[in-house]
Amino acid sequence: MKEHARYFWAYLPALGAFGCAVGTLSADRNLSGITLVLWGVWSLVVTFFVVRTILQERSKDEFTTRQLLQAQKMATIGEMASGIAHEVNNPLAVIGREVEWIQELLKESPPPDPQAQREIQESLHVITAQVTRCADITHRLLDFARMNKPVLQWVDLNNLIEEMVRLVERVTKTKTVTFERHYHDNLAPVWTDPPLLRQVVLNLLNNAVQAIDREGTVTVSTRDDAKGWVDIAIADTGCGIAPHHLPHLFDPFFSTKAPGKGTGLGLAVCQKIVTALGGLILVDSKEGCGSQFTVRLPRRPIETRKTFE
């Protein structure tokens, strides 16, 4: 209703008609007064629907503009990122080699002080670990920038998801996380790219587990409520997302995790993949109560329908 208020001028004719009607009725000229009332009601209804259509179109426009901007942002960042990642990889490789050489030298002629030797070894281990961490980031960046074109095939979603859930279940040892499954029985197969989709599901599951502090539940469900679409929902009872973080959720390098725990690329990659698969990701979150990420995939992406049928 608030939005309609912005279009108050469109309602002026209707209100004018009512005004005249009141005028004529009070002047006791019955017939034309009723006509005017009817005219007023009619133009009120027409204006309401016209304004509603305009508003819907505008929000649709805004949505596509936002999506377009996001896609452009991704492309630019992707290009920059792959350049930087390649440049950073070389010095990383040099550092790694030098560490290995120092370790080699230490093995041959260890320093006399055992304490010093231990500390040097420890430092070298830290350097190696940090180089590995950086390499992980650069490789993820390159993955992000150069995602291969999806290779589509018929996939049993429940199966694919269950594999990933089991994987995450196995590695989640430090917390008490209950995994609940609500798979839709007889879910029809989906025409999609299994490795890419696995990456998405794994990423979302990892996020869900990481959002849980010590104890909680991760609920995984599949649905096919909307015709031609399949939903994969992954919900957790974790920390939730602060409302002011929501607009940046899918931005590359945006992360609220502790340093070293996340690269800020997980959700960006997920979105990129899901978009390439013709779907979208819906987010529903309440700070302190948990979040739900829903991946909505077309049973069959539109491009392939054009090509193959």
Partner 1 sequence: MASPTARILLVDDEERFRTTMGKLLRKRGFAVEEAGSAHEALVRVQQGDVDVIVLDVKMPGMDGIQALAKIKTLDPLPEVIILTGHANVDAAVEIMRLGGYEYLLKPCPIDDLVVKIEGALEKKKAREKVLRA
Which positions touch partner 1 (CB under 8 A)? 85-86, 89-90, 92-98, 100-101, 104, 131, 135, 138-139, 142, 146, 148
Could you tell me the smallest distance in angstroms from the CB atom of residue 265 to partner 1? 15
Buried b (16+ CB within 10 A) or exposed e, 201-227: bbbbbbbbbbbbeeebbbbbbbbbeee
CA distance 229 to 279: 9
Could you tell me the smallest distance in angstroms from the CB atom of residue 103 to partner 1? 10
From 90, 145, 133, select the one nearest 265 (Cα to Cα).
Answer: 145
> Residue 30 or 123: which CB sits closer to partner 1?
123
For residue 41, list its beta bridge partners. Answer: none
Could you tell me the smallest distance in angstroms from the CB atom of residue 78 to partner 1? 13
CA distance 271 to 269: 5
Residue pair 295/200 in contact by the 8 Å Cβ criterion: yes
> Residue 105 or 282: which CB sits closer to partner 1?
105
> Residue 128 or 292: which CB sits closer to partner 1?
128
Could you tell me the smallest distance in angstroms from the CB atom of residue 208 to partner 1? 27
> Residue 102 or 167: which CB sits closer to partner 1?
102
**3-class SS of residue 10:** helix
Could you tell me the smallest distance in angstroms from the CB atom of residue 135 to partner 1? 5
Cβ neighbours around 38 below 10 Å, total: 12
Could you tell me the smallest distance in angstroms from the CB atom of residue 131 to partner 1? 6
Residue pair 191/299 in contact by the 8 Å Cβ criterion: yes
DSSP element (H, E) containing 292: strand 290-298
Residue pair 180/220 in contact by the 8 Å Cβ criterion: yes
> Residue 82 or 217: which CB sits closer to partner 1?
82
> Residue 74 or 92: which CB sits closer to partner 1?
92
Q: Are strands 176-182 and 215-223 parallel, antiparallel or unpaired?
A: parallel
Could you tell me the smallest distance in angstroms from the CB atom of residue 79 to partner 1? 14
Q: Would you state the structure tokens that stand for residue 50, as one six-digit string?
A: 């016209």
Largest CA-CA distance found in the chain, in angstroms, rounded: 116
Q: Would you state the structure tokens that stand for residue 68, as one six-digit string?
A: 């377009």
> Residue 10 or 134: which CB sits closer to partner 1?
134
> Residue 127 or 249: which CB sits closer to partner 1?
127
Could you tell me the smallest distance in angstroms from the CB atom of residue 282 to partner 1? 31
The dihedral through the CA atoms of 252, 208, 194, 192 has a sign that is negative
**How far is the CA of 284 from the CAs of 158, 234, 239, in angstroms?**
22, 10, 13
